[in-house]
Amino acid sequence: MGILRPEPMGKVGVLGLKDDREAVLTALHDLRAAQIEPVSAETLRYLEPERASETQRSVGDETLRFRGLKAVLPALPVSEPKRFQDLPAILAAARTVPIDAEVGALVREDDRLQTELKSLHETIALLGKLAFYRDRLDDLSTRAYQPFLAEGPIDLVDRLRATYPPESDVVVVGAPDATRAIALFPRGHPDLASKVLPSSGIRLTAVPALAGTVPDETARLRGEVDRANSRRAEIKARLTEISKEWYPLVAALEEALSIQSRLFEVYTKLGQGPNTFAVEGWVAKRDLDRLRTTIDRVSTGRAYFYVVPTEEPAPTLMHNPAGVRRFEFFIRFYSLPQATEWDPTLVFAVVFPIFFGLMLGDWGYGLVILGISIWMIRGFPGGRYVPRVLRNFVTRIMSPPAMRQLAYALLPGCAVAIGLGLYFDLFFGFAVLHTLFGYTAPFSPLSTVGTGTLLIVAGWIGVAMVTFGFLLGALKEYFHHRPRAALGKVGGIIFTWGIALLGLFVIHEHGFSGSLLYPYLGIAVAGLLVLLVGEGGFGIMGLIEIVSHILSYTRLIGILLASVVLASVIDLIATHLPHHFPAGLFAVGVLVGAIILVIGQAFNVILGVFEPGIQGARLIFVEYFSKFYSGNGRPFHPFGAERAYTAPPEPPGGAPAGYETRDPILRGPEP
């Protein structure tokens, strides 16, 4: 792993005998270290593209068969993975599974019973609404009339009779509660029911043909429900018996056939000769030795491992430490780096929490957001009690997995906010430490000295970030053999420091006089000249951009001050409001003040998540990334997947010690 760099990638190929093709591809699958690519045009000069075969179609059919069996059989734990040495062994094992017909019949019957149960429950619910009707139900459903249950407002019957006058031959029988009725429509005029519009507030439900009274039919239908549930329980028990005997083999075959299907998908990218094959792909250079050693073992030394010379852009594989890896979410959200440029994840992981904490700057808000973040990480326990409107609003913005990633990223930012809040003695805007312990903060962000000091700090942060961005840009251009562009980035660094020193000097001296004025001005002019040499006329635009980007970092303090001022205003209103109420209503004033305090601080907490989060990321994405970052990288997608129910085939001669694979069944040494 390089510092601030994606994993170096190389394109390699394997040329081997067709007898070893399946073993080589299976090893590549289990290593999950190579992104398989179509073989290069140079290779195809000597080989031909792979063609589909009848065996591939058979494997596809068997894959669908066992995928379906595994889906319907109750899942059971599998104690030991199964090993299939080759494709013929997989297909032979598949032919020994005789449960398709019985399982299919049971599943179809269970589906039919579920459909019947849904209909039965709907009919029972309908009968519950017809409890006001005392006569036999078959008296309603005649050759002449089709019965409907009508539901609506309190004047339902009047509305129905207004819609259907006597000459329409529609009969309306009202219920005692006046919100339900039975409407009998002539069967010869089926279009009459459509005259009731949804806007009228009336809902019509067809009454099925039933024989007895409502209590009799309800009892009968509940008996049918019990019989259907009993039969479903028998089906589930039988499927469980089948699963106990066959699930380990079915799951193993489904996985083995799925792997084989993935191998066949790769076949379309291979080259083939009468007795040979070739496969090519991208591999992280750290895995080259592992890959070469494993291919040599599974092919017993008969495969040729070679490097493919290419100018094609490599896919990007970011490989950061575990804690830093959480911040890759933000980089991918913006744009994946190219394989040959800088990976800014580490810098983002360090800088973003500092920016977030500085803009929040209150240990009360920090604790609340920390608690919310931990709640999100733990999977939103008790989330069902959150109002549906709020849940829907949040999930429209971000999916739950993305929210958990964001929560992990906010943890260090909350720690910084808590630390700075204790330093500033700000707890939801209150000076709690001073009140309880007599602590006096070194300065307040709202004081003249405090605001000035913090703005100077923000300015130097801007200078540092812009400088570092230009430095990475200069190194990138140098490594890509563009010396003039690299010179332009160096000019940006010189001008950044010249204009920063000049600006601070003017502020400190209150004007354009003093012994250091001309040296600082000379540094800025020198940077301008170097920038113009490197970037030409576009360098003029770069000057404006540099100044605006440095000043943009003062928003770190602007958002902090806005949060502190808003909290102070909320606190002031909440604490002084009760004194403006009459003496007899002081308690009411306290209650109103408490409500204002809670709602106002909750609103400020929400702002404390969005504003520091968005603006902190923006300062990195725009003011920092623009100096060196191109993005639009192609993600690295290694061929393969984890095994859960099968073990890799034994290499010829058995699995040697240290057989290298990332599969959990045969775990080899990690690089």
Q: What is the pLDDT of residue 663?
A: 37
- Residue 356: burial class (beta carbons within 10 Å; 0-12, 13-18, 19+): buried
pLDDT surpassing 50 at residue 458? yes
Has residue 74 been placed in a domain?
A: no
Q: Phi first, then psi: what are they for 283, rounded to 5°?
A: -140, 140
Kind and range of the H or E run holding 297: helix 288-298
Q: How many domains does the chain have?
A: 1
571 found inside a domain:
no
| 3-class SS of residue 222 | helix
Q: 119 lies in a domain?
A: yes
Domain annotation covers residue 155: yes
The residues facing 11 across adjacent strands are: 282
Given a cut of 60, whether residue 135 has pLDDT beyond it is yes
DSSP string spanning 238-278? HHHHHHHHHHHHHHHHHHHHHHHHHHHHHHTT-EE-SSEEE
φ, ψ at 145 (rounded to 5°): -130, 145
Query: Per-residue pLDDT for 450 more than 90?
Result: no
The answer to whether position 200 is within a domain reads yes
pLDDT over threshold 90, residue 363: yes
Which band of pLDDT confidence, cut at 50, 70 and 90, is reported for residue 511?
A: low
Q: Which residues contact 292 (CB under 8 A, 6 or more apart)?
A: 305
Q: Give the span between the Cα atoms of 133 and 143, in whole angstroms.
A: 20
What is the pLDDT, as a whole number, of residue 578? 85
What would the mean pLDDT of 417-423 be, rounded to a whole number?
95
- For residue 216, the domain's CATH number is 3.30.70
Average pLDDT value for residue range 239-250: 95
What average pLDDT score do residues 463-475 get? 94
Q: Is residue 659 part of a domain?
A: no
The residue range of the domain holding 156 is 114-223
pLDDT band for position 652 (50/70/90)? low
285 contacts 7 by C-beta, under 8 angstroms:
yes
| pLDDT at residue 55, as a whole number | 82
Structure tokens at 207: 């009454």
Residue 657 is predicted with a pLDDT of 37
Mean pLDDT of 454-472: 93
Q: Which pLDDT score, from 0 to 100, does residue 394 have?
A: 72
In a domain, 125, yes or no: yes
HSE toward the beta carbon, residue 548, CA cutoff 13 A: 9
- The larger pLDDT score, comparing residue 138 to residue 621, is at 621
Tokens representing residue 32 in the block? 């999950």
Helix segments in 425-482, DSSP class H: 432-437, 448-479
For the chain, the distance separating the N- and C-terminal CA atoms, rounded to the nearest angstrom, is: 10
Confidence check: pLDDT of 41 > 90: no
Phi, psi of 362, rounded to the nearest 5 degrees: -145, 125
pLDDT given for residue 662 in this prediction:
38
